[in-house]
Amino acid sequence: MKHLFSDIYQTPIIMLVFLSFGCRQPLDTSYAKPRGPSINGISTFIQALRATGQHVDLIPFLNPNLLKKHRLLVIFHNSFDPLSQKTIDGLDQIIESTEVKTILLVLRDKDTTEDYWAAIVDGNQLTPERQVGAKRALDLAKRDSQLQSPKAFSLKTGDFYGREIPIRTKADDKTPIRILVGDEEKYVVANWPLIGRLIPANSACLWQKGTESVLTETHFSSVNLLIMASAYPLLNAGLVDPGNRILCEQLIAKLEPMGRIAVAISSRWVDAGGQEESEEQGIAKFLWVQPFPWIFTQVMLAIVLFCWWKSPIIGRPRVTSNGEVRQFRSHVDALGDLLSYTKGMSFVMERIREWQKYKGNKSKRNNER
């Protein structure tokens, strides 16, 4: 298992080494992006789930119709705010009426953008010009981290969990993670910085950082609900750290995926009838979830080809005269030319006699009337 994971985790390592040595492509920092090289994406984590041999489905939001055959549901909360009441009610519905046996709710806390640029700046491996650009990017990342950061709320507001915002120090980032492996305790040194502090709701603490719970478990009637304080160890750039890779392996082992797995890249809830909570519409995000990009592209190509087929030929139209077509003499001349090509006089005379006979019968009928 470790050998397999070691191959999977080469992806974020190679990606970040490539970026740090002068890639000129804009840095993708999209959060919980299921595919692509985003440093805050989850593509490597999804590969690790698939390495267990189970089928993994990506879903853009939570919907009961999308969760009828899944045993494990992983939800990446895409907001710093607490879960909406509609999502909380939806999770209760999942617990009561679906085949899901385990739910992992991964909260949004600190991402890897600031730490990524800090590592680039401290590495001193860039040209002076690019070093200035990296420092500017680091300042922007720090500013964004201050503007968009976790919010404190009570356990009553969050229902499943609460959050505090304590004063942090650099020493807090180096605190080992105490995890339970079976009945034994194990300490893992990992780079897992946190901003908020998870307040569990009558839950068992599976992982602990100092005095803080970072992974909790609550048992319902038939479902286990796990809440992870931050997605940092599961993000692509976070998995560069060996300690975070150990945490990811232990988390997947704890989940024990047996059956289909659903990974929701958003915590928005959409009812079975299509009534969505009042948030920003996510149709664009939905189209980027595989295999919809390929389907959408082929549909658009078919529409373009159909329009091309039906569109008029570009250019000045030719004007044809219908005057001579209406003249009977033109038909007679055309018929004479056609009969002359046969080179058989008997055939021509036979056709003329038939025509005269037809005209004679027609005149006779008209006279009788």
- Coil vs helix vs strand at 210: coil
pLDDT score of 4: 46
Confidence class for position 50, pLDDT limits 50, 70, 90: very high
Residue with the bigger pLDDT between 152 and 3: it is: 152
- pLDDT tens digits, residue range 112-152? 999 999 988 888 778 888 889 889 999 999 998 888 888 89
The residue assigned the tokens 């009042």 is 278
338 is written with which tokens?
């056609």
Rg over alpha carbons for the chain, rounded to the nearest Å, is 36
Looking at residue 79, the DSSP 8-state letter turns out to be -
- Per DSSP, the residues of 110-169 read --SHHHHHHHHHHHT-S-HHHHHHHHHHHHHHHHHHHHS----B-HHHHSSEEEE-PPP-
Burial 309-339 (b: 16+ CB within 10 A, else e): eeeeeeeeeeeeeeeeeeeeeeeeeeeeeeb
Distance CA 137, CA 114 (A): 9
- Rounded to the nearest angstrom, the gap between the alpha carbon of residue 98 and the centroid of all alpha carbons in its chain is 23
pTM over 0.85: no
Are residues 83 and 267 in contact, defined by beta-carbon separation less than 8 angstroms? yes
Does the pLDDT value for residue 272 go beyond 70?
no
Distance CA 211, CA 178 (A): 10
Mean pLDDT of 34-63: 92
Mean pLDDT of the chain: 81
- pLDDT tens digits, residue range 77-121? 999 999 999 999 988 888 888 889 999 999 999 999 999 999 888
Does the pLDDT value for residue 73 go beyond 80?
yes
Looking at residue 211, the DSSP 8-state letter turns out to be T
132 is written with which tokens?
């200035």
- pLDDT tens digits, residue range 331-342? 666 667 767 767
pLDDT score of 278: 39
Mean pLDDT of 49-54: 92
pLDDT score of 1: 46
Does the pLDDT value for residue 285 go beyond 70?
no
